Structure 1
Amino acid sequence: MVALTKLSFAVLAASPAYSLSILNPFKSSFPGPDTKPIPGHSPIEQCDVSTPQLLKLSLVDLSPNPPVRGQNLTISAIGLLSEDVDEGSYVDIDVTYGYIKLLHQTYDICEQLPQVDMECPITKGYYKLTKEVEIPNEVPPGKYSVVARAYTKDDELITCLTGLVEFPAYGFMEGLI
């Protein structure tokens, strides 16, 4: 999610904002200007781009873009993983609503992989994937920011993904915005 491999789908699937660090206090929670867009039709960007990453993202498409509450979201992606990802790898997810931090959670990547029909280890290589997720109708209107940083068991950065999604107010304005 948003080249995105099945690993990135696990990163995104673990995030409540798409159904989008305590371990190291020196890692910042949210990306700064060190981001770059990922080709495709999505609000997802790669963050921490000055840090080497194992996942080279080449395409992320979301449909619909922007996501719509109460509808399914289709995520299509292409990517190249340069090293195997083994047991013990993890992802830190931060979700904010406006300026309010809603969630900081660490997930075991291998435990999340069944959500995208995979299991550990993930072997290095090229991946092209499509995954559909449901956006709950109950998502409150507002701007949601998601940051997902995935690491190997040795704390090597697999990828950093960030995105901003805005859900409009309910009612007649929803179809106009």
Structure 2
Amino acid sequence: MKFSAVACLSALAAPGLSASIGVSKLHDFMPATGSLKVPGESPAEFCHVDRDGDLVQVQLLSTDPNPVKAGKQVSVKATLDIKRAVTKGSYVKVVIKYGLIQLISTTADLCEQVSNAGIKCPIEAGKHQISFQADMPSIIPPGTYNVFADAYGEDDEHLTCMRATVNFPRPGELGLEL
């Protein structure tokens, strides 16, 4: 599965797919209000109300299906306005929590991660339509997952930040195909 690509595109189009480790305050990982909703059909929300300084402006982010489902392929489409090229050395901080339990907290090379989705660095400045598909694992423990992705350029300038909450129901609960 190309989960890291999903998380990292979320970092570009969400980095969260999109809390910043050591950079943001803990309150940045608290639930967002409706005004932070990323345009499109996805569970993604922006991390901050003021995004004017972000070098990657996410104009649309959609996942199909929405919400994503265990064992199914997910298609991700994003429309981005990139103010300055995203180059090697750019990175994304990703935190994944299962309820309140932190499962993953890592910093990854952004170019390496997006290459898993067939996207090559540098990503030049300008408007971009990005799309890719990833297979979700068939076995995902039921529960609520919080994904946070915060992306930075090679010079530590902020690219974008996004987060999402995804629920995988127990077998037999509404919303799960058997």
Q: TM-score, normalised by structure 1?
A: 0.81
* Per-residue deviation, 1:38: 1.1
Q: Secondary structure at the match of 1:143?
A: strand
> Aligned-residue CA RMSD in angstroms?
2.8
Q: Return closer, same or farther for 1:152/1:57 CA change in 2, 3 Å cut-off.
A: same
Partner of 1:80: 81
The aligned amino acid for 1:164 is T
The answer for unaligned runs of 5 or more in structure 1 is 1-5
Name 1:161's counterpart in structure 2. 162
Contact 1:70 1:136 in 2 (8 A): yes
> Residues 67 and 26 from structure 1, CA distance in 2 versus in 1: closer, same or farther, beyond 3 angstroms?
closer
CA contact (8 A) 1:7 1:113 kept: no
Give the superposition deviation at 1:7: 10
Q: 1:176 to 1:8 in 2, by over 3 A?
A: closer
Give the direction of change, closer, same or farther, for the CA distance of 1:55–1:102 in structure 2 (3 Å limit): same
1:131 deviates by: 1.1
Mapped pair 1:27 → 2:24: yes
Q: Is the 8 A contact 1:87 1:120 kept in 2?
A: yes
What is the rounded CA distance, in whole Å, between the counterparts of 1:126 and 1:59 in structure 2?
11
Q: CA deviation at 1:129?
A: 2.1
- Asked if 2 retains the 8 angstrom alpha-carbon contact of 1:10 and 1:115, the reply is no
**SS of corresponding position for 1:150:** strand
C-alpha displacement of 1:174: 4.8
State the SS of the aligned residue for 1:110: helix
Task: Please list the CA deviations of residues 27-55 of structure 1 after superposition, one character each: whole Å capped at 9, or x if unmatched.
Answer: 23543458711111111011123252111
Confirm or deny that 1:103 pairs with 2:100. Answer: no
CA contact (8 A) 2:54 2:158 kept: yes
CA displacement at 1:167 relative to structure 2: 0.4
Aligned mates of 1:159, 1:150 — CA distance in 2: 5
SS in 2 for 1:162: strand
Q: Structure 1 residue 26: deviation in Å?
A: 4.0
Check the 8 A contact 1:96/1:145 in 2, yes or no: yes
**Per-residue CA shift, 1:129-152, capped at 9, x if unaligned?**
221111111110000000000001
TM-score (norm 2): 0.81
Task: Within 5 Å, give how 1:25-64 maps onto structure 2.
Answer: 25-28=22-25, 30-32=28-30, 33=32, 36-51=36-51, 52-64=53-65
In the alignment, the residues of structure 2 paired with residue 118 and residue 176 of structure 1 have an alpha-carbon distance, to the nearest angstrom, of: 31
Asked if structure 1 preserves the Cα contact closer than 8 Å seen for 2:69 and 2:176, the reply is: no
Count of matched residue pairs: 165
Name the structure 2 match of 1:145.
Answer: 146
Q: Which amino acid aligns with 2:65?
A: P
- For structure 2, the 5+ residue unaligned runs are 1-5
- Contact between 1:151 and 1:158, CA under 8 Å: does it hold in 2? yes
Change over 3 Å in CA distance of 1:7–1:84 after alignment to 2: farther
Identity among equivalent pairs (%): 33
Write the deviation string for residues 85-122 of structure 1: whole angstroms up to 9, x where unpaired.
12211000000000101110100112223212222221
